[in-house]
Structure 1
Amino acid sequence: MSLLKNLFGKKEDKIKSNEDFWIWFRKNEKDFFNVVKTSGDFEKDFFDKLSPKLAELKDGYFFLTGMINNNTAELVLTADGNIKNIVFVEELVAAAPNIDGWTITALKSPLAIENVNISMGNYEFNRENLNFYYTVHPNLPDEIDLTIVHDDLNQQNANVITNGVYIFLDNYLGELNFATTIDRLNIVGKEQHEKELIPIEKLKDFLIWREKEFIEKYDGIIHSTENDSYNMLEAELENGNPLIAVVNTGLLSWEDKASHPWILNVEIRFSPDGNGLPNKDEYDQLNKLEDEILMLLKDTDGYLNIGRETANGTREIFFACKEFRKPSKIMPQFIKKYAGSFQISYEIYRDKYWQSFNRFMGN
């Protein structure tokens, strides 16, 4: 038996926690450092080893690596702009031990404008050929609506230029800022711009100013839904099935919507009766699941239940949230807990004025 162990080696334990991952990484960090230091075979000797271990922990981790100086390598763990995964990247990096010769960084950091020069195909993306302007909407005063102008954009190369601009902003602003500070983004060519152009190097200062104003305006605002009014709305779909929604219509008229700019949309699929609605047992279980979510996402903590909609074998539950990290963390727990009963998915997106729910407001 000992001979077999020597021949085949000991199977590595599966990574089940952030601590497990860093224990594994420390065992391999000298080999990884050598790959980065000598510009070795990154794909075979680093990426192909690191990727499966991160995937054991959770889907959605990405990474970059390189030398900061002659003696220090950097590992940047990133969510690739996916809002739902940012908190997990941050927590994984926060759990990292001190490792000589390594700097571990959460999310792509912002770069100085002179250090951002992206090449894609035959096009460049830098401060020489990029400008911006912003649009103010009187009814949506806190919304940041940006238009980026690239000198070379035309109808034929729009996709390439758009992708290049997104990569430029991700590097210039940093991953977190790019993912969380812009509400609308439009990209046009220099022949299409409608306002006076502002140099792209001023974009950071503009966003810092707008975010500071926003935080000061809504700091400390909370809302209790205890005395809000809820309405039941019914409609008939094209296939003849009913749609039933229960909506906090009082909340949808609230003047301070922008204080809770993140929307959590939970989608729960069930086995419907013939009319697309749940049977009695499923109805009770769906309500139990919703109550459990409400226990964790409380209004006084900054998570407002807007309502729910049920039709065609799907229930959707809607929350407006002050921030996105806690909803990102709790939803995978429900997906796992109820895997035997329901198929659950969720989205988190920025919608300062809750325009997603205009359909519930009537005329």
Structure 2
Amino acid sequence: MSKLPKRHFWEWFKRYNQEYLELNKKTKKEAAYWLHELNAHLRAYFKFFGFSVTLPDNGLARLTITVNGKVMHFKKVDAFVATAPEIPGWNIIALEDPMPVDFLLEKQIEKAGIDPSELCFSFASDDPYDTDIIVYHPLCSEDNEHLFLQLAYAAVYNLLGERSFGIDFGRLEMANLSYADQGDVYQLEDLPTHIGQRRSPIIVDHTGKLLNVR
């Protein structure tokens, strides 16, 4: 149960939003203080909420409320962000947008020793409702599979964005490229397109009868 009403957080953020617009001008200690304050106020409302703040050189700053892909909390995020007031200089959004495949993955890339743009995938089955995938790399082995798997999950999260990752994506397995059927393998960066294509169109006539499903 929420300890604080939604309006309490938004009233607080509106009051102090300028501090976040000027984060880049603050010392590390000052910036850490204000980020801690934001995290504390947000988690006081709901403990699974997280956030990111983006401060572009031009245009609106962005506050994103996230639950790290936990689909069971998506409705709570949407409802929370829907109550946000208009705050000049800010764009407030629910759930993280799709990003480049290697976004913020420096540590995972260093540990795995590969670039996520080198990964490819196939769907685990021909069932159009099955969105489990197998990700491949020619250097994958039993010794490094867990590191490759961590990198692959993070890369998929980046490519799909939080909402699609939680709703449209299933599970992921990692394997050496030698195990793949080359006719069914695609670049991992093309995953969003292929997931969209697997959503079969449904045609229903005026009586409600299903005419075609591909």
TM-score bracket for this pair, using the shorter chain length: 0.7 to 0.9
Q: 1:80-229 counterparts in 2 under 5 A?
A: 80-111=68-99, 116=103, 118-119=105-106, 120=108, 121-122=110-111, 123-127=113-117, 129-137=118-126, 142-196=129-183, 197-211=185-199, 213=200, 216=202
SS in structure 2 opposite 1:46?
helix
Q: What is the distance in 2 between the residues matched to 1:174 and 1:134?
A: 19
TM normalised by structure 2 equals 0.80
Instruction: Write the distance in 1 (CA, Å) between the matches of 2:168 and 2:50.
Output: 22
For 2:74 and 2:96, how far apart are their aligned partners in 1?
Answer: 11
3-state SS in 2 of match to 1:99: coil
| Aligned position for 2:10 | 22
Tell whether the 8 Å contact from 1:133 to 1:146 is kept in structure 2 after alignment: yes
Query: In structure 1, the residue corresponding to 2:134 is in which secondary structure?
Result: strand
Q: Rg: which structure is higher?
A: 1
- Separation in 2, partners of 1:65, 1:105: 11
* Residue correspondence of structure 1 range 1-363 to structure 2 within 5 A: 16-35=4-23, 37-38=24-25, 40-41=27-28, 44-70=32-58, 72-111=60-99, 116=103, 118-119=105-106, 120=108, 121-122=110-111, 123-127=113-117, 129-137=118-126, 142-196=129-183, 197-211=185-199, 213=200, 216=202
Structure 1 residue 189: deviation in Å?
2.5
For the 8 Å contact 2:51–2:65, the answer to whether it is kept is yes
Is the Cα contact below 8 Å between 2:120 and 2:135 reproduced in 1?
A: yes
CA contact (8 A) 2:153 2:172 kept: no
Structure-2 separation of matches of 1:58 and 1:188:
38
Letter in 2 for 1:69: D
CA distance in 1, matches of 2:79, 2:48: 14
- The Cα of 1:38 is off from its aligned counterpart by 2.7
Name the SS of the counterpart of 2:55 in structure 1.
strand
TM-score by length of 1: 0.49
* C-alpha distance 186-217 of structure 1, shift in aligned 2 (>3 A): farther
Q: Give yes or no for contact 1:131–1:198 (8 Å, CA) kept in 2.
A: yes
Q: CA deviation at 1:88?
A: 1.2
Higher helix share: 2
More strand, by proportion:
1
Alpha carbons of structure 1 residues 173 and 39: separation in structure 2 relative to 1, 3 Å = farther
Report the AA paired with residue 190 of structure 1. Answer: L
RMSD: 2.6
AA matched with 2:97:
S
Partner of residue 349, structure 1:
none
5+ long unaligned stretches in structure 2: 205-214
Q: CA deviation at 1:157?
A: 1.8
Relative to structure 1, the CA distance from residue 27 to residue 203 in structure 2 (aligned partners, 3 Å threshold; closer, same or farther) is: same
User: Does structure 2 conserve the Cα–Cα contact (< 8 Å) formed by 1:110 and 1:173?
Assistant: yes
| Structure 1 residues not aligned, in runs of 5+ | 1-13, 219-363
Q: Percent identity?
A: 21
